[in-house]
Amino acid sequence: MLDHPISFIFYLLLTIVVYQLFVLLQNKLKLIWLNPMMMSLFVLIPLLDHQGISYQTYYQDTKIFTQLLEPAIVALGFVLYKQLHTIKAHLKAITLVLTTSISLFIMVNMTFTLLILQRYDIAVSMSLKSVTTPIGLALTEQLHGIAAITAVSIIIAGIVGAIWGISLLNRFNITHPQAQGLAIGCASHALGTATISPLGYQYGAYSSLALVVSAVITALLSPLLIPMFQL
């Protein structure tokens, strides 16, 4: 394997190049399913596996990308500020809805994953997929999950919401920008928020709000709910 300084640069450049190639390809072909994040996974995972590079090694050498998520999420606060006057009037109801939905998601996910796989660590990891990566990984470590599964689950949740979230909500006649923003922000966090923000300030503001509030609620509730399922 490459020495650490070389591998650090190599993994960073590899990730950036692969991602940007798919950005260019999607911009040219205009295909929504050709998501750069998803397509990069299809290239990077087999390549790293073929080279015998573990997730832990790759994560440590590309940790800067995870760290950059934090200021990126803070930057989303601008669109939230633009709709602050409207959000204040519905903040209690929004918090109640998000608390209820997150609680149900954690309990249902833990129940079904344990029934099917009978693995507590996998159930923990799968239950933390609808939260931003830094918080998800921190909670996974605290609750004895598997960081690699949590990271992949978070990415998949973000990609699915970014690609099919709006069309799925429209199919169920959920068309209000505020409702769609809350749903995407809660389920698909930063990636979903970044995808729908160009649709309008309300989409971005409510998605950003759901992203932040959901992260706080998950951080508070998961250490209380998840240990209840420990075998």
Do both 31 and 10 map to the same domain? yes
Do both 113 and 7 map to the same domain? no
Do both 119 and 210 map to the same domain? yes
Boundary of a domain, candidates 34, 64, 94: 64
Q: How many domains does the chain have?
A: 2
Do both 76 and 175 map to the same domain? yes
Q: Over its length of 231 residues, how does the chain's per-residue pLDDT go in tens digits? A: 444 555 778 888 999 999 999 989 988 887 777 878 778 888 998 988 888 888 788 888 888 887 787 777 677 667 667 777 778 888 899 999 999 999 999 999 999 999 999 999 999 999 998 888 888 988 999 999 998 899 889 988 988 888 889 999 999 999 999 999 999 999 998 888 878 887 888 888 899 889 888 988 999 999 999 999 986
Do both 200 and 142 map to the same domain? yes
At residue 4, the pLDDT reads: 52
CB 113 within 8 A of CB 127: yes
Do both 132 and 207 map to the same domain? yes
Boundary of a domain, candidates 18, 39, 64: 64
Nearest residue to 36 (alpha-carbon basis) of 50, 53, 57, 15: 15
At residue 107, the pLDDT reads: 95
The two three-digit tokens of residue 43, written as one number? 């290239």
At residue 5, the pLDDT reads: 52
Do both 76 and 135 map to the same domain? yes
Nearest residue to 37 (alpha-carbon basis) of 173, 201, 228, 188: 188
Do both 196 and 221 map to the same domain? yes
Boundary of a domain, candidates 64, 88, 104: 64
Do both 179 and 78 map to the same domain? yes
Do both 210 and 97 map to the same domain? yes
Do both 16 and 47 map to the same domain? yes
| Helix 177-196 / helix 147-171 crossing angle, nearest 10 deg | 130
- Rounded CA separation 136/142 (Å): 10
Do both 88 and 50 map to the same domain? no
List the domain range (segments joined by +) for residue 227: 71-231
CB 144 within 8 A of CB 119: no
